[in-house]
Structure 1
């Protein structure tokens, strides 16, 4: 780097930058992807703690002043994804491939698997809700609401958001795994 007012070295026209060292692409990709994955995992934590809050407020009799809907089975299973997310955060500190694989598999099984199963199994309820709403027969059926909004619609909004968060986190985890495994030194026998 030159000081203001200094002259260029004689004998060069400034095009001799080709020989300089550069950061290897897998290190750059790893650093960029880690920050994005951390953001996605923190978003997952926020939504997981909302579900945990619902489960706790439903089961603890001291907090019965809030009318909280009964938790479904899929919520209990989905909350397990907090553990793989912790593994994912820990793995990024020192590029632990094993912990990142645990994050990947745990998110696929307990995260995406649970959410996609819930979406598919409850799709008929969503179509019934839409049919009743278009026929203006929704008032005849007792529906569950939370703060005036239909609970079924709120859950589907939540599920769609979580599908996106899990899908993007799996994409980022896959990039990190390829980046870390590509240049891992081979063990000598």
Structure 2
């Protein structure tokens, strides 16, 4: 770094930067991926807070005057995926591979597995809803609503957003695991 008003060293035109040290690509990838994964984990936890608030307000009805729909079994199972998300967040500070593996396996099992199973099992209900809406027979059935919106559609919006968050976070975790394990110093005996 030069001082203001100082002159360039004679004999150089500034193109002698090739000898300078550069950040290794896997360190740069790790730093960029960590910040993205941290954001995705925060979004995962935010969704977890929303699901927990739904379950809590259903079981403690005197808190709100709204009619809260009954929570589904998948919500309780999916809520477990917040624990591996916290492990993933803790793994980012010191590149802890074991905690990142817990995050990866927990999100696949309790997060993405639960969400995809729910989407597949309830897909027929969504098609029935669409068919009734197209035939203008929706008023005869009276679907469950929350704040005037069809609950089934709200759940599918939530599920699709959650699938995307889980898929991107698993991709980022995979990149980090490869980066951390590939360039790990081997133990010398």
Could you tell me the TM-score, scaled by structure 1's length? Answer: 0.96
1:27 aligns with 2:27: yes
Query: Partner residue of 1:99?
Result: 99
Q: Output one character per residue of 1:157-185: Cα deviation in whole Å (capped at 9) or x when no partner.
A: 00000000000000111111111111101
- In structure 2, distance between residues paired with 1:186 and 1:60: 54
Query: Partner residue of 2:48?
Result: 48
In structure 2, list runs of 5 or more residues that go unmatched.
none
SS at match of 1:11: coil
Could you tell me the TM-score, scaled by structure 2's length? Answer: 0.96
Which range moves more in the overlay, 10-19 or 50-59?
10-19
Q: How many residues align?
A: 189
- In structure 2, distance between residues paired with 1:186 and 1:41: 30
- In structure 1, distance between residues paired with 2:124 and 2:142: 17
- In structure 2, distance between residues paired with 1:104 and 1:47: 18
> Displacement, 1:62?
2.8
Which range moves more in the overlay, 68-77 or 12-21?
12-21
- In structure 2, distance between residues paired with 1:114 and 1:25: 35
Moved over 3 A (4+): none
- In structure 2, distance between residues paired with 1:7 and 1:52: 63
Which range moves more in the overlay, 42-51 or 57-66?
57-66
1:136 aligns with 2:105: no
- In structure 2, distance between residues paired with 1:21 and 1:64: 60
RMSD: 1.1
- In structure 1, distance between residues paired with 2:66 and 2:135: 32
- In structure 1, distance between residues paired with 2:38 and 2:162: 15
- In structure 2, distance between residues paired with 1:5 and 1:87: 51
1:58/1:64 contact within 8 Å kept: no
- In structure 1, distance between residues paired with 2:175 and 2:108: 16
> Displacement, 1:111?
0.6
